[in-house]
Amino acid sequence: MAGAGVVAEALEQVSVPHILITPAKFLKWDDQDTAASSTYIVRVDPKGHVLYWKPEDYSKDTEVLELVTIRDVRFGSYAKSPKNAVVREALKSNASSEEECARIIERTVSVCYGPNFVDVSFTNFVASSISEAQEWGKSLLAIIGNLLDTNASPLRSLDRFFTRISVQTNQEGNIAAKTLVKCFASSKDDKKRAYDALQVVGLASGKKDTISMAEFTFEKFIDFYNRLCTRQDLDNIFAHLGVGKKPYLTVDQLVDFLNNTQRDPRLNEILYPYYNTARAQSIIEAYERSQDFVKKGYMSIEGLTKYLMSEDNLVITPERFIPVHQDMSAPLSHYFVNSSHNTYLTGHQFTGRSSVEIYRQVLLSGCRCIELDCWDGKTEEQEPIITHGMTLCTEVNFKVPNSITTSYFDGSIL
């Protein structure tokens, strides 16, 4: 790619604004849930892993949404309006006046999330004021889409999963053992293995038991996880390095493993020097839990597993995730452009559904060249439409209606 004078910036870990960590009271609605009159406590965990909410009266279980699945946050005139008449009436009942009723959309924060561009869903939160909705929306929008999180190490992903579990507590701050087991197992045999693993690591293991979050630490969670997910490949590494019956690697064996197994031999030796005893010992100190082993320069299989799953052992180095600012004054043909073909389609090119939402999703993902297949409409006015011509694909209007941001609450219909 063309461009001189590249300037790089290091990506920083997400810093969660205080307003998101502090529990806030919102009304919550979506067009499938008609209970829009309930008050929910909504917050983000301090590490920026999940957005979660529960009814103020604990009448329902906690719902959790991982921030890496959030694709957009919309507020103000861009927030969603309820299509379900029951939801609209339920929201109206919470307005103190007609004026407040008409401004409900301005107090809405719409969270768009999904596993891909097409399969997106919306959850909507109604704040007590417009200013709160704007501050919440801006703060949440600022911490999503971080490349360090979307390319997280297995250990950080497990930390995210642990956070997802740990926020699902009851009023006493405990989590049900069956809730934890359900996260890992569905069949009868797998559930038995999960309950047995809980017992082995010293946690409550009865089907009706609850686990105190004070004792259910991340280290305990890792112990539980390792009991469920055995690593035969690491056992083979230990055997290959000549450990024998010893439950550890010596610092010299670790150096041998790091240089001759893990290290890419094509790397520049000056920029990426070989490991020595001192560097291997620093790894042991960072990841080995047994202080006795640390003093002796030993690393257990648990310590090695933790190291291999950490940010220090990513397949792609974090330097590859930094934003790059380039000279954009060269002709367009000098650059690669992220483009989208048949942008409007969400599925099959002959019978698929067209959607306006998909345009927003591809632009948010980085596309800078999109396709608009314009055809004469089938109405008398022949207003232009976008569709895959001469097929059975559905169509969307080319023209955006003037009422696109008009509220349902003033009696109009989008």
166 contacts 213 by C-beta, under 8 angstroms: yes
Return the pLDDT at 30: 84
Residue 388 falls in the annotated catalytic set: yes
307 contacts 297 by C-beta, under 8 angstroms: no
Return the pLDDT at 286: 96
Return the pLDDT at 323: 62
Mention every residue, 6+ apart, whose C-beta is less than 8 A from residue 270: none
CATH class of 18-150: mainly beta
Return the pLDDT at 264: 87
Residue 179 to residue 65: CA distance in whole angstroms: 16
Q: Which helix (H) or strand (E) holds 278?
A: helix 277-287
259 contacts 274 by C-beta, under 8 angstroms: yes
Residue 379 to residue 74: CA distance in whole angstroms: 33
How do 108-113 and 70-75 pair as beta strands? antiparallel
Residue 26 to residue 361: CA distance in whole angstroms: 26
Residue 316 to residue 330: CA distance in whole angstroms: 30
Mention every residue, 6+ apart, whose C-beta is less than 8 A from residue 116: none
Mention every residue, 6+ apart, whose C-beta is less than 8 A from residue 255: 275, 276, 277, 280
Q: What is the DSSP letter of 38?
A: -
Q: What is the DSSP letter of 298?
A: E
CATH number for region 235-315: 1.10.238.10
Catalytic residue among 49, 334, 341, 348: 341
What is the token pair recorded at 344?
Answer: 């409007």
Q: In what order do the strands lie in the sheet with 374-375?
A: 374-375, 385-386, 396-397
Return the pLDDT at 134: 96
Return the pLDDT at 406: 46
| Beta-bridge partner residues of 180 | none
Indicate the domain borders of the chain.
Answer: 18-150, 169-228, 235-315, 337-414
Q: Which helix (H) or strand (E) holds 296?
A: helix 291-296
Residue 227 to residue 199: CA distance in whole angstroms: 11
Per-residue pLDDT of the chain (414 residues; tens, 9 = 90+): 333 334 445 667 789 999 999 999 999 988 777 667 688 999 999 999 999 999 988 888 899 999 999 999 999 889 998 888 888 887 877 776 666 766 888 999 999 999 988 899 999 999 989 999 999 999 999 999 888 888 889 999 999 999 999 998 888 888 989 988 998 888 999 999 999 999 999 998 888 899 998 889 999 999 999 988 888 888 888 888 877 778 899 999 999 999 998 988 888 898 889 999 999 999 999 999 999 999 999 999 899 999 999 988 888 777 777 666 567 788 988 888 899 999 999 988 999 999 999 999 999 888 989 999 999 988 888 889 999 999 999 999 988 654 444 444 554 433
Residue 30 to residue 408: CA distance in whole angstroms: 14
Residue 341 falls in the annotated catalytic set: yes
| Beta-bridge partner residues of 249 | 299
